[in-house]
Amino acid sequence: MIKKCLFPAAGFGTRFLPATKAVPKEMLPILTKPLLQYAVEEALDAGMSNMAIVTGKGKRAIEDHFDRNLELEAQIQGTQKEVLLKEINAVCNNATFTYVRQKQMLGLGHAILTGEPLIGNEPFAVHLADDLCTSEKDSTLTQMIQVYNKYQCSIVAIEQVPMNQTHKYGVIAGDLIDNTNDTCRVTNMIEKPAPKEAPTNMAIIGRYILTPDIFNILKQTKPGKDGEIQITDALLTQAKQGSLIAYKFKGKRFDCGSIQGYVEATNYFAKQQGII
């Protein structure tokens, strides 16, 4: 059973400057809800209650958000605004939050390794809050846990992207292992390849289920693309052992780490809620 979800949230979010100068990127809202709250709600929905967050300098707003604010609650008690804190208070009450700070931004792989003391020796999920997913039925993490329960190894969620976008993602190649065409055993993966070097257009998105051996692999992983410790390089070691599955998730993803994706997500949710 997967109980813990790790949220790497230490990055500088430079694409959103100046907004992210003092406000964590993960706290930028889609309508009124911060990206990281969508993320934690997805993990709760998938049955996890232990949220492990990797933070860094300038990220204290995250801890305040996932704590009760009794003064504020007293202020709006008995007014129509009381309902506005209902969802976040339910999140605070139903989950436990642990934090660790990444002292240097050495990459996503390093951020995940920084989370080891919060996770320990058990399989866990990783959620990147700037990839916001919606689905008609099960959430992306719920779907992935079903796949994990079947194969009992690390799982990455993938999406087919236009060939000219491969340089933004980790890209995989693999052998189909089921007849629904949505699961394959990964044989190769490359971090941010140019289109002509990309083995396919199947890109890894910000959802992972990882087995805990990933931590020892990460400890031995040298800096790769852009001088960062890449999770893709560590996952390639698992792939070579035959223990990495890629799953084409059902749903829609917004890349809220980019301005275009952020605007698209805002419009999508505004339409859904009848605001525009």
Interface residue list for ligand UTP (CB under 6 A) = 8-15, 25, 54, 102, 105-108, 110-111, 128-130, 257
Nearest to ligand UTP of 111, 218 (CB atom): 111
**Residue closer to ligand UTP (CB basis): 263 or 275:** 263
The string of DSSP codes covering 150-183 is: HH-SEEEEEEE--GGGGGGSEEEEEEE-STTS-E
For residue 248, give the nearest of 153, 158, 169 by alpha carbon: 158
Q: State the minimum distance, in angstroms, from the CB of residue 261 to ligand UTP.
A: 11
- Cβ of residue 223: shortest distance to ligand UTP, in angstroms? 11
Least distance CB 207 / ligand UTP (angstroms)? 12
CB of 175 to ligand UTP, least distance (A): 28
Nearer to ligand UTP, 124 or 184 (CB): 124
Toward ligand UTP, which CB reaches closer, 85 or 106?
106
Report whether 25 contacts 11 (CB < 8 A): yes
Residue nearest ligand UTP by beta-carbon distance: 11
CB of 24 to ligand UTP, least distance (A): 8
Contacts of 35 (CB under 8 A, 6+ apart): 25, 26, 27, 28, 29, 129, 130, 132, 256
In the complex with ligand UTP, the residue whose CB is nearer, 117 or 242, is 117
CB 218 within 8 A of CB 139: no
> Do residues 35 and 29 make contact, with C-beta atoms less than 8 angstroms apart?
yes
189-215: burial string, b at 16+ Cβ within 10 Å, e else: bbbbbeeeebebbbbbbbbbbbbebbb
